Amino acid sequence: MGLPKYEPMTDEEFMEWVAVQPGRYEFVNGYPLEMMAGAKQDHAVAASNILTSLVPSAKNQGCRATGSDTYVLAGGNRRLPDVVVDCGPKDSNATHATGPTVVVEVLSDSTNAIDHTDKLDDYQSHPDIRVVLLVDPSHVSVKAYRRVDATWVPERYEDLADIIPLPEISASLALVDIYDTLDPKPRFKAIDLNPGSVPRM
């Protein structure tokens, strides 16, 4: 993502402006922030797999699971997570999720740092968000941040057999479904420490 040199805007001015732009933009600290185009296929597939997995459970709970065109208002900014489960009141005219409960960011090289810092801070400041998932599409690695009372508890899932419980929406998310049709690498490669495997001089 890049930060173009725009004049500062209000949220209302941004929504009028972005409606006629060809690209996708977040609204951060009073400025439009263009979302980088050309994400790798594994990013798109992982996001699609997660959305597909969460849609049925979201419907059963009266929620909506949507992709990366739904704004989340958090930390005074407008963010575009890759997936959001919105359990707020239905409003066909809303320009953002009215009750975001679970948000998912699929990581990429260009957004990894900001997803782990600025975006995560924004999401954790939203009173309705209960779970934030950060998904690495190229390695078997999902980090979950779960709100427990007033504390955010981190959880890590690094095995394709793992299942992420999401009682907040009466659902679960299996890593084997997240990485379906992908070829992710293990998060950590095992090192052979067998002395017999080391060539002797």
- Which are the contacts of 7, defined by CB distance < 8 A and separation ≥ 6? none
The pLDDT, as a whole number, for residue 110 is: 60
The pLDDT, as a whole number, for residue 93 is: 87
For 177, how many CA atoms within 13 A lie in the half-sphere containing its CB? 12
DSSP 88: S
Q: From the CB of residue 176, how many other CB atoms can be counted at a distance below 10 Å? A: 13
Sign of the C-alpha dihedral computed for residues 28, 16, 92 and 23 taken in this order: negative
Query: Largest Cα–Cα distance in the chain?
Result: 74
The pLDDT, as a whole number, for residue 48 is: 96
CA–CA dist 55, 65 (Å, integer) = 5
The pLDDT, as a whole number, for residue 38 is: 58
CA–CA dist 77, 27 (Å, integer) = 6
Phi, psi dihedral angles at 71 (to 5 degrees): -75, 145
Integer-rounded Cα radius of gyration of the chain: 19
Q: What angle do CA 145, 148, 149 make, to 5 degrees?
A: 140
The pLDDT, as a whole number, for residue 181 is: 96
**Is the whole model's pTM more than 0.95, yes or no?**
no
CA–CA dist 170, 50 (Å, integer) = 15
Closest among 179, 171, 159, 163 to 46, alpha carbons compared: 179
CA–CA dist 28, 77 (Å, integer) = 5
Closest among 135, 150, 54, 143 to 101, alpha carbons compared: 54
pLDDT along the chain (201 residues), means of 10: 70 95 92 79 95 96 93 95 96 92 89 73 96 96 96 97 97 97 80 44 35
